Structure 1
Amino acid sequence: MGLRFTELCIDAHDPHAQASWWSRVLGWEAEDTDDADVALRAPDGAGPDWVFLAVPEEKVIKNRLHCDFTPDDQNAEVDRVLALGARRVDIGQGDQTWVVLADPEGNEFCILAAEG
């Protein structure tokens, strides 16, 4: 196949703050790019790099795409990410095995039940 998934681009009102927050969540290094964006460099095997792009507008609707994370311990990770500034959100998911959270700019993501 001729394509590789190398970057996930994320619009951000404050790309430096968003990259810094996600760097703490994921443990990935943040670096400025030549285009004045901020990139989180994924460790080998962890998926694509995340690139935060500056946009003037705030997020106003539910994401059309979101990230799911599988933890070793769901409760511990939910508590850790909430302590970093995430918030719980209700997108109509009801009672599920995953927890829906939002980052500081309101982008939804899920912490799934631990495997095993």
Structure 2
Amino acid sequence: MAVSLHHIVVDAHDLPGLAAFWCAALDWRVLSEKEREVVIGTDPSAPTGICFMPVTDEKTVKNRLHFDLAPDDQDAEVERLLALGARRVDIGQGEARSWVVLADPEGNEFCVLRPRGSLIEFAD
């Protein structure tokens, strides 16, 4: 039996707004927009996309799952994401880390890493 990762689902209050942020952040586009679901990705045949689904409850704790973004230029990318509406957050990561922790407009944490050469290349 074959299986693949289809969507990463993100709970949201403002589906179009959060989808617009992540489209700008990732240079993706909205592929489908319905009242209770917005799907973004590179194109409809891409292997994986992000699906935003509505919730009514407020976010209260640190995410158990988050995105790691690996740009060519970490400092420039952090500034670009802040201009798009992200904000810096402290989740206890400390000052001496190689990544920067930000939150999207709804408070979902994500990391901006230094440039990477592979999926298994890690640095503190």
SS in 1 for 2:50: strand
Q: Which amino acid aligns with 1:62?
A: K
Letter in 1 for 2:113: L
Number of residue pairs matched? 116
- Residue 121 of structure 2 corresponds to none
Which stretch of structure 1 is more off in the superposition, 88-97 or 25-34?
25-34
| Residue of structure 2 equivalent to 1:16 | 16
TM-score (norm 1): 0.90
Counterparts of 1:62 and 1:88 in 2: how far apart (Å)?
14
Using the TM superposition, give the Cα deviation of residue 43 of structure 1 relative to its aligned residue in structure 2, in angstroms.
Answer: 4.8
CA contact (8 A) 2:31 2:43 kept: no
How far off is 1:35 after superposition?
A: 6.5
Work out the CA distance in 2 between the residues paired with 1:85 and 1:100: 14
CA RMSD of aligned residues (A): 2.1
- Does 2:70 correspond to 1:76? no
Indicate the residue corresponding to 1:108 in structure 2: 109
Percent identity of paired positions between Structure 1 and Structure 2: 50
What is the correspondence of 1:1-116 to structure 2 with a 5 Å cutoff? 2-33=2-33, 36-43=36-43, 48-94=48-94, 95-115=96-116
The unaligned stretches of length 5 or more in structure 1 are none
> Kindly tell me: are residues 34 and 13 of structure 1, through their superposed partners in 2, closer, same or farther at Cα, counting changes over 3 Å?
closer
Which one-letter code corresponds to 1:102 in the other structure? A
Runs of 4+ in 1 over 6 A off after TM superposition: none
**Amino acid in the other structure paired with 1:23:** C
Query: Structure 2: which 5+ runs fail to align?
Result: 118-124
Shift of 1:47: 5.8
**Could you tell me how far 1:31 is from its partner in structure 2?**
3.5
Is the 2:6–2:47 Cα contact (8 Å) retained in structure 1?
yes
Deviates more, 1:104-113 or 1:1-10: 1-10
